[in-house]
Amino acid sequence: MTTLVADVGGTNTRVAIFFDEDMTPTSVRRFRNAEFASLEAVLKQYLADLDGVSCSAACVAVAGPVRDGIGRMTNLDWVMDGATLCTATGAAQGFVINDLEAQGHALDDVDTRCVLGHGRPAAATSTRLVVGLGTGFNAAPVHPVEDGSEFYVVASECGHASMPVQDQTGLDLSLSLRKAHGFASIEEALAGRGLLAINAFVAAKSGAAPHDSTQDLIAALSGTPTATDTATAGLYCQLLGQVLGDLALVHLPWGGIYLIGGMARAMSPFFATHGLSDAFHDKGRFSTFMDDFAIHMVEDDYAALTGCARYVRRHS
């Protein structure tokens, strides 16, 4: 089986080929969405560049809601469904899934490392939770079925739920985000732009100048951070710990919480020193209960592509 897969983000689309049972992506290409009128145009260009590859199945992971097999981008006029994929690629089967759903299907095929806790030994039937931190924020529980031989990954848009508020600083930040965006969501606080928003909020209180980009701020944190930089990382890690703790209590992921995305990897060196663990455990009489959940980092930047290939193998 030759499977074409694509990871459609807000700015770029990555496309790759998987052959038979090999779970290593080949011929990975990146395309700028702004240069194409539709995903079909991207896929046709990709196949034309490869000159002659014949696909038996195609699967696309979309950074946006997927309902009844139809994916829609929130920042592009792109609509994707299985029939469109088949037409564009010549494949007999076409699937469209949420990008976090794809990440969930990839967990058994990608490298991870533990960044917090150890948890308890988990059975094959234990639920896991994938949390995406990048341009946006989202999470998806991975539920084993058939005694752990198959998986059902539940898509969500939980990044657009309300940001947690537990003290005056959190309330002030929430009001600041609400003033800027009309609503203080988890995503506006914890996505890439959220880190910059927190930095601007902290800087305004101290009279310091905020950073111009996320990259500059993370570089400063890795070098010689100012007091404002340190306070920014502390508030970000506190909020992330609160949100991860809330999600853990909702889904009970005894099999672990798995962080993915560029923001997760960029901020992970600061988790241990900037209060993420304390905020994660700050659940009153349930604080020791939180020891049962470990947090892991997914290191593979192609995990969504791998998850698409695994999804096809599980649904063909």
Question: For the segment 138-184, what is each residue's pLDDT rounded down to a tens digit?
Answer: 999 999 987 777 889 998 889 999 999 999 999 999 999 999 999 99
pLDDT of residue 155: 86
From residue 32, alpha-carbon distances to 15, 36, 38 in Å are: 11, 7, 11
Model pTM score: 0.92
Residues 194, 82 share a domain: no
Residues 117, 100 share a domain: no
Question: Do 85 and 304 contact (CB within 8 A), yes or no?
Answer: no
**119 or 277, greater pLDDT:** 277
Question: Do 38 and 76 contact (CB within 8 A), yes or no?
Answer: no
When pLDDT is averaged across residues 80-102 and rounded to a whole number, the result is 94
Residues 174, 128 share a domain: yes
Residues 126, 80 share a domain: no
Structural domain containing residue 32: 2-105+308-315
Residues 284, 185 share a domain: yes
pLDDT of residue 240: 98
Residues 266, 207 share a domain: yes
Question: For the segment 263-278, what is each residue's pLDDT rounded down to a tens digit?
Answer: 999 999 999 999 999 9
pLDDT of residue 119: 64
pLDDT > 90? residue 125? no
Residues 124, 94 share a domain: no
Question: What would you report as the CA-atom Rg of the chain, rounded to the nearest whole angstrom?
Answer: 20
Q: What percent of the chain has pLDDT over 90?
A: 79
pLDDT band at 120 (very low <50, low <70, confident <90, very high): low
Closest CA to 217 of 206, 203, 205: 203
Give φ, ψ of 315 to 5 degrees: -120, 10
Q: What is the 3-state secondary structure (H, E, C) of the chain?
A: CEEEEEEECCCEEEEEEEECCCCCCEEEEEEEHHHCCCHHHHHHHHHHHHCCCCCCEEEEEECCCEECCEEECCCCCCEECHHHHHHHHCCCEEEEEEHHHHHHHCHHHCCEEEEECCCCCCCCCCCEEEEEECCCEEEEEEEEEHHHCEEEECCCCHHHCECCCCCHHHHHHHHHHHHHHCCCEHHHHHCHHHHHHHHHHHHHHHCCCCCCCHHHHHHHHHCCCCHHHHHHHHHHHHHHHHHHHHHHHHHCCCCCEEEECHHHHHHHHHCCCCCHHHHHHCCHHHCHHHHHCCEEEECCCCHHHHHHHHHHHHHC
Question: How many whole angstroms separate alpha carbon 290 and alpha carbon 248?
Answer: 8
Task: Return the CATH number at 124.
Answer: 3.40.367.20
- Residue indicated by tokens 């992506």: 25
Residues 117, 97 share a domain: no
pLDDT band at 130 (very low <50, low <70, confident <90, very high): very high
Residues 248, 164 share a domain: yes
Question: How many whole angstroms separate alpha carbon 261 and alpha carbon 161?
Answer: 19
Q: What percent of the chain has pLDDT over 70?
A: 99
Closest CA to 87 of 204, 4, 24: 4
pLDDT band at 23 (very low <50, low <70, confident <90, very high): confident
Task: Return the CATH number at 70.
Answer: 3.30.420.40
**125 or 217, greater pLDDT:** 217
Residue 121: Cβ within 10 Å count: 7
pLDDT of residue 147: 75
Residues 117, 13 share a domain: no
Residues 224, 78 share a domain: no
Question: For the segment 210-256, what is each residue's pLDDT rounded down to a tens digit?
Answer: 999 999 999 999 999 999 999 999 999 999 999 999 999 999 999 99
Question: Do 101 and 306 contact (CB within 8 A), yes or no?
Answer: no
Question: How many whole angstroms separate alpha carbon 217 and alpha carbon 27?
Answer: 34
Residues 176, 50 share a domain: no
Total domains in the chain come to: 2
When pLDDT is averaged across residues 276-284 and rounded to a whole number, the result is 97
Residues 6+ apart with CB under 8 A from 172: 201
